[in-house]
Amino acid sequence: MKKPVDLGQALNNYLQTDPIFAEEVKKLAPHWFVDTVAENKKELLGMAKRGEQRPKEDGENHKIARSLGRYTNDNNKMYDPVFDAEIRRLVPSWFVDTAAENKKLLIEMARRGEPRPNKHKEKLGILLQNYISKNVRGYDPVFDIEIRKLAPQWFINTAVDKKKELLEMAKSGESRPSTRNTLSRRIGLALCHYTNKGSTYDVVFDEKIRKLVPHWFVDTAAENKKLLIEMARKGEPRPNGRTKLGMVFQTYKNKNSRCYDQAFDEEIRKLAPQWFVNTAVDKKKELLEMARKGEPRPNSKTKIGNALLSYMDKTGSCYDPVFDNEIRKLAPHWFIDTAAENKKLLLEMAMNGESRPIYATQIGGALWRYVKINSKCYDEEFKKQIYGLAPLWFIDTVSENKKSLLKMAEKGEQRPKLRSLTLGSCLVQYTCKTSGSYDPVFDKEIRKLALHWFVKKGR
């Protein structure tokens, strides 16, 4: 299989070695050579002079926010001392040290028994890593000691336990853990990390697990391609991108993927050209027609609703500014800020003494997003209001759940069934070592009281 060509790298090579090609490309695509650094700095200074808020890395202007971080961080290779001095003079409020506030939030989360924030995806998780890593400039030894005392489960080395669990599964002849199943996703991803060459690769574990279960590592690519070719010949519809076959299909035809197969790509396009038709034009026409007829906005969980979001997302590759302007003119009611309405309704419910809405409902899910510190929709002012009006809504349910489970175990009751938002799912979270909510003390106690709850079927 041919290695896919890196067009960006190739372009740089040709620009440096072929002056005629370089001159031609600059004429045809001058926008490729715009100095974006200068543009970014100009935009940031403009925002500062207008008194706008600092752009957030998890918000709409995440690209410009990251640029600001690079230009004002003296440890970054893109640091600009002149720009840094100027922007700090214009908006000193953008550079207030938020470390104390962040540490306070993390301490609160630890006290409430909340799961550790993700160190790769969540801002607080990334900052936590900085505050507890001794080799990092932001290390705080006092905070490090306190947070480890409050939430020891946040710092368990789960790699050893995961490897043990995987080896046990292999020895007992269990099937390979799926990376798509909610319950086995963590252990399934861990298996991929430990057996694929990367920063977490373990050569000893890799050899051991492959000897025990060689069938876990059978190359299914050839089978998948054969199946896709057959589907194309039969005139079947293209597999959905969310199915396993649909996802692997994307990797085989995507030139930027390491699994790209040029021969397969050419063959499948000849057999099923309808699989590669750009449906965006038709979807936009359909959406504009719906807007003209005064139809309700399509649900984002539907194909057409999800397409609408992608065409209007300024940070996405599918953004269409012309369509965005047109659809907003035709159906302004589709874009009313529902957050304000939701908050108003929740405050009214709290004032009237109503019970907390269930998380699984739309309004219940919205409440969770507005008060959860790690959420993009977090609203500190609203949280203070709602906590003041309905403190009973926010009682520590973790302790209550653990008490209920221990009582059930003492009484010799059956293990609660595993369903979402039930004691059964809570039990898994508190006793699974790979879970962010794992509690080693509770785990030990519950296993003593009801060991039969944890015996796997067929053993």
DSSP codes joined into one string, 393-423: GG--HHHHHHHHHHHHHHTTPPPPP--TTSH
The letter for the amino acid at 292 is R
Cβ-proximal residues to 409 (8 Å cutoff; 6+ apart), any chain: 446, 449, 450, 453
Q: Please name which of 48, 52, 50 lies closest in space to residue 60, comparing C-alpha atoms.
A: 52
**Taking the CA of residue 253 as centre, how many other CA atoms within 13 Å lie in the half-sphere pointing to its CB?**
22
Helices 141-150 & 123-132 angle (0-180, nearest 10): 120
Q: In this structure, what token pair is assigned to residue 395?
A: 């009682």
Cβ-proximal residues to 308 (8 Å cutoff; 6+ apart), any chain: 287, 297, 298, 300, 327
Q: For residue 138, what are the CA distances in angstroms to 107, 128, 144, 172?
A: 17, 10, 11, 45
Residue 72: exposed, middle, or buried by beta-carbon count in 10 A (0-12, 13-18, 19+)?
buried
- Cβ pair 312, 335 in contact under 8 A: no
- Unique residue bearing structure tokens 């409902």: 361
Residues 221, 227: Cα–Cα separation, whole Å: 10
Q: Please name which of 329, 336, 230, 342 lies closest in space to residue 287, comparing C-alpha atoms.
A: 329
DSSP code of 333?
Answer: G
- Cβ pair 177, 169 in contact under 8 A: yes
Cβ-proximal residues to 414 (8 Å cutoff; 6+ apart), any chain: none
The strand ranges marked E within 130-214 are: none
End-to-end Cα spacing for the chain? 44
Residues 196, 141: Cα–Cα separation, whole Å: 35
Residues 292, 287: Cα–Cα separation, whole Å: 9
Residues 168, 175: Cα–Cα separation, whole Å: 11
Residue 209: exposed, middle, or buried by beta-carbon count in 10 A (0-12, 13-18, 19+)?
buried
Neighbours of 336 (CB within 10 A): 10
Residue 350: exposed, middle, or buried by beta-carbon count in 10 A (0-12, 13-18, 19+)?
buried
- Cβ pair 37, 78 in contact under 8 A: yes
User: Torsion angle, CA of 55/58/60/65, rounded to 10 degrees?
Assistant: 30
106: phi then psi, degrees, rounded to nearest 5: -65, -40
Going residue by residue through the chain, which has 459 residues, state the pLDDT in tens, using 9 for 90 and above.
444 446 777 777 777 777 788 788 878 887 777 668 888 899 899 999 988 888 877 666 778 888 898 888 877 778 888 999 999 999 888 887 678 888 999 999 999 888 888 877 777 888 898 899 887 777 889 999 999 999 998 887 778 888 998 999 999 988 888 877 666 778 888 898 899 877 788 999 999 999 999 988 887 888 899 999 999 999 999 998 878 888 889 888 888 777 888 999 999 999 999 888 877 888 999 999 999 999 988 988 788 988 898 888 877 767 888 999 999 999 988 887 788 889 999 999 999 988 888 777 888 888 988 888 767 788 888 988 998 898 888 876 778 888 889 999 999 998 888 764 578 888 888 888 777 678 888 999 999 999 988 887 654
- Cβ pair 128, 119 in contact under 8 A: yes
